[in-house]
């Protein structure tokens, strides 16, 4: 009985957490994705670094 | 607190449930210190010393910057950014990319191999640093491969376990003390090194054991540093979920794992080229005097514990979720101990760990770089940074992430193709290389091949009509908006 109760409580807790995160996501503040500017900044750093590597190896 | 209440309380931080914003421990500064604590362990000196085998100081700096900066950003995009957004540790997130079975397969092969190796190596490094303190302070003569080094390594492993048993709060507290101290030690080491040599001599120093082809030497040095950067992949997603936003996970980790790592590696490389030994723990006592030497050595020794604690935390979480029902109800402390048993066994062979370090790093890089390419293609391009949380946790075939019997064939094939590309360009076992390797390295093409192939294979193997993977289905969020 205790095991079943625990499983039910955990299942309920998981559902609660998913609901909270998704409502935050809908508000797009607390859990927002990286913006395209941030993403491009990251990729530009990668490509510039690799290009420098190519130049050094030449 | 009842057993049920306790199980619910532990389900977030110690389990694979999503962590809510108010439970997240790490802001920008906290996560930066955690990563600095990770970066400045003895392994950074070892990597610097290994880089000096192939290239001199100038090319070594270039190789370290290229390998660490490019590799760390790619690795972070495939880990912390995703985990931080949803508060979910990375091996649960990976179900949406590789399927439930695929994640278990990756964890129990590549990840276990990599993480047991790193854990044992950190233990051995702690052991050797402690033996060095004993040799100088107490006049002992402990050999670097002695059984006493293994005993010290086991103490390090036990200390990391004790730290992790209390959870990420203790890791944060420990790092707040150790990481700033380590930063000061690194500055002290750099100052000392420059009192022993000049910039001109350092730049003129020849590599220690290069191949005949200078282009090949540089490419191997870059590849090695890329491998080091990718080797953070197994742990970063689990740490990233405790950060307060994707921004607080990406840039602090970049500062710690790329920038600070490079500085620490430079110390190893400079000391290898000028003093003949990459390991500052060997010359620190004579160079810095007994008091500074012991304090610095203790900080370096403890740094290995902080690094190991982060590895153990992440992999204990991973072990719980990748093992299905087997460890679902096992106590957190017991699970952490189970993860550490193989590492403890491997630490009985400290010499082997050091001798095979280059092979170990590049071989794990072959797999991890390919996995990163697949993950980035899936999350950023195919899913546009949206994952269905409910499907991540739905059981077996009830989940849209069940794919083909628990395996996403598109992701598995593309990752294997990436690994194949790597091994074709550079075979870490035989050191054979293709001519292209000198210009492209092996990790970068591995990322590119797995990235492109996953984009091509997904519509073929997981078509919208099949519903597999839920690529064309709206997330709960989109459904809610409609």
pLDDT 10s digits, B295-305: 878 877 788 88
Strand partners, B426: B433
Q: Which structural domain, as residue segments, surrounds residue A50? A: 2-57
Percent of chain B with pLDDT over 70: 93
Q: Determine the pLDDT at residue A57.
A: 76
| Full set of structural domains in chain B with CATH | 20-394 (1.10.4160.10)
**A42/B250 CB distance under 8 A:** yes
Q: Which of A11-20, B323-332, B437-446, B467-476 has the lowest mean pLDDT?
A: B467-476
B62–A31 C-beta distance less than 8 A: no
Q: Is B463 helix (H, G, I), strand (E, B) or coil?
A: coil
CA B350 distance to own-chain centroid: 20
Interface contact B4-A9, CB threshold 8 A: yes
Q: Give me the residue label for tokens 């191997």.
A: B220
CA pair distance A12, A14, nearest whole angstrom: 5
Any B CB within 8 A of A16 CB: no
CA B86, CA A22: separation in Å to the nearest integer?
A: 9
State pLDDT tens for residues B250-284: 999 999 999 999 998 998 899 888 887 777 777 77
User: Chain A to chain B, count of Cβ pairs less than 8 Å apart?
Assistant: 106
Answer yes or no: are the C-beta atoms of B114 and B379 closer than 8 Å. no
Which residues between 27 and 46 in chain A have a beta carbon less than 8 angstroms from any beta carbon of chain B?
Answer: 30-34, 38-39, 42-43, 45-46
CB distance B128 to B202 below 8 Å = no
Query: What residues contact B291, with CB distance under 8 A and at least 6 apart?
Result: none
CB distance B409 to B449 below 8 Å: no
- The residue whose two tokens read 């000049």 is B198
Residues of chain B contacting residue A7, judged by C-beta atoms under 8 Å apart:
none
Please tell me the distance from the alpha carbon of residue B381 to that of residue B458, in angstroms, as a whole number.
11
Summarize the confidence of residues B131-148 as an average pLDDT.
86
- A49/B contact by beta carbon, under 8 A: yes
For the cut 80, the answer to whether the pLDDT of residue B441 exceeds it is: yes
Inter-chain contact B389–A21, Cβ cutoff 8 Å? yes
- Among A21, A39, A50, select the one facing B70 at the smallest CB separation: A50
Facing residue for B21 by CB, picked from A24, A39, A46: A24
Q: How far apart are CA B422 and CA B442, in angstroms?
A: 5
CB contact under 8 A, B11 and A5: no
B-chain CB neighbours of A50 within 8 Å are: 66, 70, 444
Mutation site for B-interface testing, chosen from A3, A15, A22 by largest number of B Cβ within 10 Å: A22
Q: Which residue of B has its CA nearest to A52?
A: B66
Contact B298, B136 (CB under 8 A): no
pLDDT at A32: 66
Are B321 and B92 in contact by the 8 Å Cβ rule? The answer is yes
Q: How far is CA A7 from CA A11, A13, B317, B328, B390, in A?
A: 6, 10, 19, 11, 17
DSSP secondary structure, A1-58, as one string: -HHHHHHHHHHHHHHHHHHHHHHHHHHTSTTPPPPHHHHHHHHHHHHHHHHHHHHHH-
**DSSP-assigned letters across all residues of B209-262:** S--S-HHHHHHHHHHHHHHHHHTTHHHHHHHHTTBSSHHHHHHHHHIIIIIIHH
A52 touching chain B per CB within 8 A: yes
Inter-chain contact A18–B20, Cβ cutoff 8 Å? no
Residue with tokens 């087997």: B326
Give the Cα separation of B467 and B400 in Å (integer): 7
ipTM score here? 0.86
Element at B178 (helix H, strand E): helix B168-196
Which pLDDT tens digit goes with each residue over B85-108? 888 989 999 999 999 999 999 999
Give yes or no for residue A48 having a pLDDT over 50: yes
Interface contact B18-A57, CB threshold 8 A? no
pLDDT value of residue B481: 46
Exposure b/e, B393-425, CB count within 10 A at least 16 = b: bbeeeebbbbbbebbbbbbbbbbebbbebbbbb
State whether A49 and B222 contact (CB < 8 Å).
no
8 Å CB contact of B11 and A14 = yes
Could A38 and B70 be called an inter-chain contact, meaning their C-beta atoms sit closer than 8 Å? Answer: no
Q: Is the pLDDT of residue B327 over 70?
A: yes
- Residues of B in Cβ contact (< 8 Å) with A55: none
Chain A residue numbers touching B477 (CB-CB < 8 A) = 22, 25-26
Q: Which of B102, B98, B62 is nearest to B78 (CA)?
A: B98
Q: Do A38 and B66 touch (CB under 8 A)?
A: no
What pLDDT shows up at residue B453?
98
pLDDT at B237: 85
Substitution target in A14, A16, A23 with the highest count of B β-carbons within 10 Å is A14
* Structural domain count of chain A: 1
Alpha helices of B255-377 — where are they, by DSSP H? 261-275, 280-288, 290-322, 332-346, 350-355, 357-376
Residues forming beta bridges with residue B26, ordered by sequence position = B243
Percent of chain B with pLDDT strictly greater than 90: 43
Please judge whether B246 and A33 are an interchain contact, meaning their C-beta atoms are less than 8 angstroms apart: yes
| Section B59-76 average pLDDT | 96
Region B168-187 average pLDDT? 76
Question: Looking at residues B368-392, what average pLDDT do you find?
Answer: 94
A27 to each of A33, A48, B241, B437, how far by Cα in Å? 12, 35, 19, 47
Cβ B149 vs Cβ B134: under 8 Å: no
CA dihedral B213, B219, B220, B223 (to 10 degrees): -170
- The span from the CA of B87 to the CA of A19, in Å, is 13
Interface test with B, best of A3, A9, A18, A36 (most B CBs within 10 A): A18
| Cα–Cα–Cα angle for B126, B131, B137, rounded to 5 degrees | 125
């Amino acid at each position: 009985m205790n095991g079943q109760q625990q499983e039910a409580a955990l299942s309920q807790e998981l559902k609660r957490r998913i609901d909270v995160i998704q409502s935050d996501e809908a508000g797009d503040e607390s859990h927002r994705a990286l913006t395209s500017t941030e993403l491009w900044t990251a990729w530009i750093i990668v490509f510039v670094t690799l290009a420098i590597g190519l130049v050094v190896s030449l | 607190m009842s057993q049920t209440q306790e199980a619910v309380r532990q389900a977030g931080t110690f389990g694979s449930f999503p962590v809510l914003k108010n439970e997240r421990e790490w802001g920008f500064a906290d996560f930066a210190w955690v990563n600095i604590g990770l970066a400045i362990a003895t392994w950074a000196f070892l990597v610097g010393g290994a880089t000096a085998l192939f290239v001199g100081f100038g090319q070594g700096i270039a190789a370290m910057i290229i390998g660490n900066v490019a590799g760390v950003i790619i690795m972070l995009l495939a880990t912390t950014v995703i985990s931080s957004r949803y508060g979910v540790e990375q091996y649960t997130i990976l179900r949406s990319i590789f399927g439930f079975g695929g994640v278990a397969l990756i964890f129990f092969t590549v990840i276990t191999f990599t993480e047991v190796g790193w854990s044992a190596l950190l233990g051995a490094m702690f052991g050797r640093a402690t033996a060095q303190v004993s040799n100088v302070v107490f006049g002992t003569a402990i050999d670097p491969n002695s059984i006493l080094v293994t005993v010290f390594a086991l103490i390090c492993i036990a200390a990391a376990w004790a730290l992790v048993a209390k959870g990420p709060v203790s890791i944060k507290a420990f790092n707040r003390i150790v990481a700033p101290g380590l930063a000061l030690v690194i500055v002290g080491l750099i100052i000392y090194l420059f009192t022993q040599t000049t910039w001109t001599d350092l730049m003129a120093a020849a590599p220690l054991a290069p191949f005949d082809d200078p282009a090949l030497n540089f490419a191997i040095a870059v590849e090695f540093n890329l491998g080091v950067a990718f080797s953070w992949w197994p742990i970063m997603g689990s740490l990233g979920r405790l950060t307060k936003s994707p921004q607080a996970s990406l840039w602090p980790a970049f500062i710690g794992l790329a920038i600070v790592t490079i500085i620490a590696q430079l110390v190893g490389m400079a000391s290898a080229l000028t003093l003949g030994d990459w390991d500052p723990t060997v010359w620190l006592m004579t160079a810095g005097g007994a008091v500074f030497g012991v304090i610095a050595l203790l900080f370096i020794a403890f740094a290995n514990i902080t690094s190991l604690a982060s590895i153990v935390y992440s992999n204990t979480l991973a072990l719980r979720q990748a093992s299905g029902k087997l460890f679902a109800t096992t106590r957190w402390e017991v699970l952490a101990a189970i993860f550490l048993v193989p590492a403890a066994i491997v630490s009985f062979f400290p010499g082997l760990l050091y001798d095979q370090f280059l092979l170990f790093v590049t071989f794990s890089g072959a797999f991890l770089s390919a996995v990163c390419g697949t993950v980035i293609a899936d999350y950023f391009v195919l899913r546009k940074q949206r994952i269905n949380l409910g499907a991540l946790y739905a059981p077996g075939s009830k989940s849209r992430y069940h794919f083909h019997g628990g395996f996403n064939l598109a992701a598995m094939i593309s990752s294997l193709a990436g690994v194949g590309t790597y091994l074709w360009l550079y075979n870490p076992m035989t050191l054979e290389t293709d001519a292209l390797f000198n210009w492209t390295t092996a990790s970068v093409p591995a990322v590119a091949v797995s990235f492109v192939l996953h984009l091509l294979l997904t519509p073929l193997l997981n078509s919208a009509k099949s519903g597999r993977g839920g690529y064309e289905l709206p997330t709960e969020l989109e459904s809610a908006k409609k």
